[in-house]
Structure 1
Amino acid sequence: MKKILLSCSAIIVAVLLASCGSNNTVATSNAGDIKKEDLYEKMKETAGPSVLQKLIISEVLTAKYGDDVSDKKVTKEFDTQKKQYGEQFPELLKNSNYTEASYKEVIKMNLLIEAAIKANTKLTDADYNKAWETYLPKMTVQHILVADEATAKDLITKINAGEDFGTLAKANSLDTGSKEDGGKLPEFDHTTPYDPIFIEASAKLKDGEVTQEPVNGANGYHIIKMIKNPGKGELKDHKAELEASIIQSKVTDENYVHSVLSKILKDAKIKIEDEDLKNVMDEFLKTDSSATSSSATTSSSNAATSSSK
């Protein structure tokens, strides 16, 4: 799922620079001193516009929606992703140049943007009806992931003969994030960033049922056992889940996010004192006609970057 992400490392550098206090010297050597203003000017030339833009967006959204994005909520989302990726998670963070702390800042920014979208979006009956067409309830399953179809078929035979699914998962599954829990996965639905083939196969199962043919997914062959599938039910009983799904689809729409941010930022009465950086918010603050020409020279990636899960 795409989400707008704050570039934490750049912001942290900027904040540290601003916090140097009255000590004007950043570094010393036999060759001389490097002053804070010298570093500021050099950083401004290379990363100044994008860093300032991100800082402003962060400050404005935190002021308006920070009460809706608690540390507890950020940690919960972090732990959910950590469990989904299992043992691969630390390596994924490292390869993306994140620490746990900096990635939590990314999550916080995403949640702030989500809160902004929710607060500025009025949903219609048409929105709910469209979302209902693809809606699936939250399901809980166990699964076993193996590398080849023959192994998967052999395990299905053993399960049908009465062998314990959880025991077989612990002994055979390649999914290190779930195997020790007997293959049990966290509750998920159609919005969860799982393989669509896996989600579709799961949705067809009733409670207690096991797939009778291996499910050929992106990472191998799955055997799936349904623990709880509440069924689709009626739209009126799932308004909250549908609203969450619709808002998530809005979050992935870069043009829609840009329009919401523009409205919020215009209301924030932003004034930039540094003459060299005075135009960094133009793509958000100008009128529609002038913003079109501005966007040709100012990439929206200055404000944010996109990531897929």
Structure 2
Amino acid sequence: MKGNNILNIKKIGLVAVTGFAAVTLAACGQNGANSDIVTMKGDTIRVSDLYKEAKSYPATGTATLLQNMTFNKIFEKEFGKKVSEKAVNQEFDTQKASYGSNFAAALQQAGYTEASYKTSIRSQLLLKEVVTSKIKFTDAEYKAAFETYHPTVDAYVLSETTEDAAKKLVEDAKNDAAAFDKTAKEKNAEMKFDSANAKIPTEVKTAAFKLKDGEVSAEPIAVSNTQTGTKSFYVVKMVKNADKGTDWKTYKKELKAIITTNKQNDATFVNGIIANYLKDYNVKVKPKEFSNIFSSYEAAVTSSSSSKSK
């Protein structure tokens, strides 16, 4: 199975809750290329900097560009040493391999060059470092993650493009288990995965974990592609299921990874961290046209505070 869409790795500013209109470069260029747009402790973003960034990311809105530039300056100072060139290249190579010959077209469609996409990957890895550094791995967090966690199972997972073809697989498995197993092995369909595995569709995992050893899914499992709308139909045969028991500490490493992913995907949590950095670095926006570009982060913090007070 292929990896996620290449566009899932974006520049940091795109994780924000949006709601402001894009502002043209001309609006801030009236006072010359050296006029300040954003000031912060130890650094400044000028009109000329914004023009340069816009050339690298022509498809990105001006407000988002300014967000990205601001966050990158702050997070490079705080965590730049923790994100290596090797890590960036590894993620880049993973995405490139998943797209094969379509990689160049995907980059072009998204408005990236290889160089600008690597910069985008670095921004995202920096953000992950920022978020991870603020996570508190309490027993309560571990126990909550353990409630929905299923440990690694071993199963045959086969997919078909039509429901009829998948139904035939189900019948084949029932009529001749040995032949089905042989076919599954020839297709390299044997997989080991737990509930945190992002490569296996959620619908497939949910159905698989309910199966006993040697049992086959009674009906094809339909999975819709959110990008194309097309459906695939999966058939699962459980080779070896697993009982997680009652002690969450047995899976502490796996649960820590789940907690980290959940926090990285929590917009309120992420935006709250960013808002605190904006405050610590005394970030100020000079042109009135851009005065609201960080309001979504402030709103996320206000919302979080209100919820806690209730």
Relative to the length of structure 2, the TM-score reads 0.61
Q: 1:205–1:226: 8 Å Cα contact kept in structure 2?
A: yes
> CA 1:210/1:127 → structure 2, altered by over 3 Å: closer, same or farther?
same
Contact 1:137 1:230 in 2 (8 A): yes
Query: How has the CA–CA distance of structure 1 residues 228 and 6 changed in structure 2, closer, same or farther, with 3 Å as cutoff?
Result: farther
Task: Name the counterpart of 2:78.
Answer: 64
Which residue matches 2:261? Answer: 248
TM-superposition CA deviations, 1:177-232 (whole Å, max 9, x none):
xx6xx235574533626432111012234566543432233222211244665442
Identity level (%): 31
C-alpha distance 109-279 of structure 1, shift in aligned 2 (>3 A): same
Q: Distance in 2 between matches of 1:265 and 1:195?
A: 37
1:216 to 218, 222, 244: 222
Instruction: Give TM-score scaled by structure 1 length.
Output: 0.61
Pick from 185, 189, 204 the counterpart of residue 210 of structure 2.
204
Output the CA distance in 2 between the equivalents of 1:84 and 1:187.
19
Q: How far apart are residue 106 of structure 1 and its match?
A: 3.2
Q: How far off is 1:67 after superposition?
A: 3.1
Aligned partner (choices 248, 254, 279) of residue 235 of structure 1? 248
Q: Deviations over 1:261-297 (max 9, x none)?
A: 122233335577x767885775489xx69x97xxxxx
Q: Does the residue aligned with 1:5 lie in a helix, a strand or coil?
A: coil
* Structure 1: tracts of 5 or more residues without a match: 9-13, 15-35, 171-178, 293-309
- Give the corresponding residue for 1:109: 123
Q: 1:295: which partner in 2?
A: none
- Pick which of 262-271 and 78-87 moved more: 78-87
Cα 1:148/1:281, change in 2 over 3 Å: closer
| Aligned residue runs from structure 1 range 225-304, under 5 A | 225-226=237-238, 229-233=241-245, 234-270=247-283, 279=291, 283=295
Structure 2: give runs of 5+ residues left out of the alignment: 14-24, 26-46, 225-230, 303-310
Indicate whether 1:130 and 2:144 are aligned: yes
For the 8 Å contact 1:128–1:242, the answer to whether it is kept is yes
**Stretch of structure 1 that moved more, 186-195 or 151-160:** 186-195
Q: Give the root-mean-square deviation of aligned CA atoms.
A: 4.3
Q: 1:122 Cα deviation (Å)? A: 1.8
Specify the alignment match of 1:163 in structure 2. 179
Say if 1:104 and 1:185 are closer, same or farther in 2 by CA, change over 3 A: farther
